[in-house]
């Protein structure tokens, strides 16, 4: 009897445990979005905020306050593992009241590669919209906010009262990252035998001083020759530097030669004396993203030294350009800005960190390099230093007297001077400075830095040699892909306006180490190796000015490998002066094609997620994928017929002969850059 009672009691306890366990596993539970690991949230700017807007203030949508939720910058995305045990997702979403007046965003909820809910466009002041969707059986859910105006950064998105009702395994945030394979060093080391890396043509004005360092790789010492050098020019045979003046217009075909103990190389080089400068895109270094306005005579001298020491000058990087901060700051109490901004004759004065501009330029010129300077048509530069407004003639003469070869002219405070945004007002300050530079007696390449206003690509060549087509690129990450990609897409759309003497400028190349806007502080750029190859490839394909703006003294072997591939640079410097066109940009990848001299083509295969018109493409649904894609093009896609030869420009190896199509596997966020010949 006791045995039966004991076993009956055990059966009741066991049954109770099973029923309780079943009841608990089937009961509904709640996890708030704000309780998940927000470090796995991807935002373009800032860090997601728990229970506050991204600004740190109370979540507020259309005047309504919310105590709980997540505030982000848009773009933003989060991928959550549900394991098929979730039941409902609920939230109230909208544009935070602290957003910019013209901000506009859209929310999406994506489940297992299907759009489950979308908000439509949100504007400031719009009331929050309720989300209450059934997610039974969904394994992964993606929460996405996109922007409807790329030119606005204050797009603050709120996921208020956002929660997941589930049973079973608790949902958790996923990395939403591709574990991609990365390229290593692809560029072969330069040969000990000489190789001349100059472009085929070089433009100068009649009677202007000529300074040209023949860019040559190969084991030093080298000796140089220049056969048929025109009258008025002379060559330093040990340094490979051409100087002098040419007093008659024409095209002068010269045979350059460089020799060392391993051999000799020759190259035809044509100096075009006439109306145009910058017959190929200018190349060099700019101080801004490394030093910002903490620039000085010593760091510019160091940069010129490093341009030589690193070997970059041997590949054609020739300009050493000072950006904002060399002059005196208006309304400043700092010692370097004491006394007058200009002398009694109106000549602009450099600050104490630049004691002798003429001597600095002479130092740069002594190495065969060229010097660049910065100003603004407004009364102040972007950083608040002295601009050229009302002193344009004096400044143009001063820059020429100091010996500068390049001027970056930044719109900045001129917006307060312009009467309106008419084309006439947008062109006026650049037209004026262009005339003054042309009459200065020096060849000064003129860079229009006015961020694409007034469709500058349509008229920039009338008043300058290169022009910015968009905002500062900086080191921005863009919308979940590197910022250079979006900037490149924008720049690429103006391909038909690029030509010898006039180039679309998407801003500088920022790889390796850059500054932090804090004096003496630097950081490594947040770009993968694959992305850095893509960056350089895109800029070369677009015939963009090639200006590195990182830290020259911290260059490593990988960065040199990216910046100094002679065959990639030759695509940029091609004498035909054509800019690449995008012939495909979708979820299968992007293909750019650039026409080269001698009927060759350059083709870039980029593994980027295309134009991202589908919200599904913002998420990594297969966490085990390395993201590589096979990208294919046919002969007809690139406008050729018959057989064609393919060469990989990064590895500098021939791929063989093909007839109907070519296909290559391209790593995630990487590129395969090709030269096509027939």
Q: Could you tell me if 147 and 80 are in contact, meaning their C-beta atoms sit under 8 angstroms apart?
A: no
Joined together, the tokens standing for residue 589 give: 């990848």
Angle of helix 357-366 relative to helix 297-309, nearest 10 degrees?
A: 0
Q: Could you tell me if 500 and 463 are in contact, meaning their C-beta atoms sit under 8 angstroms apart?
A: no
Catalytic residue (choose from 112, 472, 617, 637): 472
Task: Give the burial string for 449-468 (b: 16+ CB within 10 Å, else e).
Answer: bbbbbbebbebbbebbbbbb
Please, which contacts does 441-444 make with residues 24 or more away whose CB atoms are closer than 8 Å? 441/207, 441/208, 441/400, 442/208, 442/209, 442/400, 442/403, 442/404, 442/405, 443/204, 443/205, 443/208, 443/209, 443/210, 443/277, 443/405, 444/399, 444/400, 444/404, 444/405, 444/406, 444/407
Catalytic residue (choose from 158, 410, 443, 600): 410
Q: What are phi and psi of 495, to 5 degrees?
A: -55, -35
Q: What are phi and psi of 325, to 5 degrees?
A: 110, 5
Distance CA 207, CA 185 (A): 44
Distance CA 124, CA 122 (A): 7
Which DSSP string corresponds to 215-259? -EESSSP-EEEEETPPTTEEEETTTTEEEE---S-EEEEEEEEEE
β-bridge pairing 589-595 and 581-586: antiparallel
Q: Could you tell me if 473 and 488 are in contact, meaning their C-beta atoms sit under 8 angstroms apart?
A: no
Active-site residue 356, yes or no?
no
Please name the residue ranges forming H helices in 354-465.
357-366, 392-402, 423-438, 460-463
**β-bridge partners, 226:** 256
Q: Judge residue 214's burial from the number of C-beta atoms within 10 Å of its C-beta, 0-12 exposed, 13-18 middle, 19 or more buried.
A: buried
Active-site residue 526, yes or no?
no
Distance CA 548, CA 524 (A): 14
Q: Could you tell me if 167 and 28 are in contact, meaning their C-beta atoms sit under 8 angstroms apart?
A: yes
Q: Judge residue 322's burial from the number of C-beta atoms within 10 Å of its C-beta, 0-12 exposed, 13-18 middle, 19 or more buried.
A: buried
Q: Which residues are catalytic?
A: 410, 472
């Amino acid at each position: 009897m006791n045995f039966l009672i004991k076993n009956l009691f055990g059966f009741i306890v066991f049954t109770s445990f099973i029923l309780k366990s079943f009841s608990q596993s089937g009961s509904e539970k709640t996890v708030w979005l704000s309780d998940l690991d927000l470090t796995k949230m991807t935002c373009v700017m800032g860090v997601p905020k728990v229970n506050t807007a991204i600004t740190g203030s109370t979540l507020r949508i259309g005047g309504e306050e919310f105590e709980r939720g997540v505030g982000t910058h848009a773009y933003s995305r989060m991928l959550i593992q549900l394991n098929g045990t979730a039941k409902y997702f609920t939230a109230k979403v909208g544009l935070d009241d602290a957003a910019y007046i013209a901000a506009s965003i859209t929310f999406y909820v994506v489940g297992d590669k299907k759009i489950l809910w979308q908000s439509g466009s949100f504007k400031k002041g719009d009331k929050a919209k309720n989300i209450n969707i059934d997610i039974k059986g969904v394994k992964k859910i993606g929460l996405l906010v996109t922007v409807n105006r790329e030119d606005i950064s204050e797009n603050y998105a709120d996921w208020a009262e956002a929660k997941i009702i589930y049973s079973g395994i608790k949902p958790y945030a996923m990395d939403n990252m591709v574990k991609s394979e990365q390229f290593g060093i692809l560029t072969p080391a330069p040969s000990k035998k000489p190789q001349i890396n100059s472009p085929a043509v070089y433009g100068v004005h009649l009677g202007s001083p000529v300074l040209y360092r023949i860019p040559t790789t190969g084991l030093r010492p080298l000796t140089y020759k220049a056969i048929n050098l025109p009258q008025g020019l002379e060559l330093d045979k040990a340094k490979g530097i051409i100087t002098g003046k040419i007093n008659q217009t024409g095209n002068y075909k010269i045979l350059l030669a460089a020799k060392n103990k391993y051999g000799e190389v020759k190259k035809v080089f044509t100096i075009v004396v006439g109306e145009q400068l910058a017959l190929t895109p200018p190349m060099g270094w700019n101080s801004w993203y490394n030093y910002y306005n903490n620039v000085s005579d010593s760091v510019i001298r160091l940069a010129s030294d490093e341009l030589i020491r690193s070997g970059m000058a041997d590949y054609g990087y020739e300009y050493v350009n000072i950006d904002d901060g060399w002059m005196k700051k208006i309304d400043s109490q700092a010692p370097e800005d004491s006394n007058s901004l200009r002398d009694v004759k109106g000549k602009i004065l450099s600050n104490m960190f630049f004691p002798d501009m003429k001597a600095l330029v002479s130092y740069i010129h002594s190495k065969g390099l060229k010097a660049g300077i910065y100003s603004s048509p407004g009364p102040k530069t972007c950083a608040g230093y002295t601009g050229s407004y009302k002193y344009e003639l004096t400044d143009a003469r001063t820059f020429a007297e100091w010996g500068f070869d390049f001027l970056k002219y930044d719109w900045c405070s001129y917006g307060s001077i312009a009467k309106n945004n008419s084309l006439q007002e947008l062109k006026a300050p650049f037209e004026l400075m262009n005339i003054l530079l042309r009459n200065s007696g020096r060849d000064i390449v003129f860079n229009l830095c006015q961020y694409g206003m007034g469709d500058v690509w349509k008229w920039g060549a009338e008043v300058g040699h290169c022009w910015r087509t968009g905002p500062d690129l900086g080191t921005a990450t863009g919308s979940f892909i590197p910022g250079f990609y979006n900037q490149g897409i924008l720049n690429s759309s103006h391909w038909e306006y690029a030509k010898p003497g006039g180039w679309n400028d998407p801003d500088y190349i920022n790889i390796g180490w850059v500054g932090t806007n804090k004096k003496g502080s630097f950081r490594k750029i947040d770009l993968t190796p694959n992305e850095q190859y893509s960056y350089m490839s895109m800029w070369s394909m677009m015939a963009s000015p090639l200006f590195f703006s990182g830290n020259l003294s911290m260059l490593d072997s990988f960065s040199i490998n990216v910046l100094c591939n002679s065959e990639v640079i030759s695509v940029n410097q091609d004498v035909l002066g054509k800019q690449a066109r995008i012939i495909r940009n979708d979820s299968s990848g992007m293909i750019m094609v650039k026409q080269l001299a001698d009927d060759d083509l350059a083709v870039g295969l980029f593994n980027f997620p295309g134009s991202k018109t589908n919200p599904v493409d913002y998420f990594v649904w297969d966490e085990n994928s390395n993201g590589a894609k096979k990208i294919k093009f046919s002969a007809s896609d690139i406008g050729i017929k018959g057989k064609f030869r393919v060469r990989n420009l990064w590895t500098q190896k021939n791929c063989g002969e093909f007839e109907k199509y070519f296909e290559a596997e391209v790593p995630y966020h990487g590129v395969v850059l090709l030269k096509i010949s027939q």
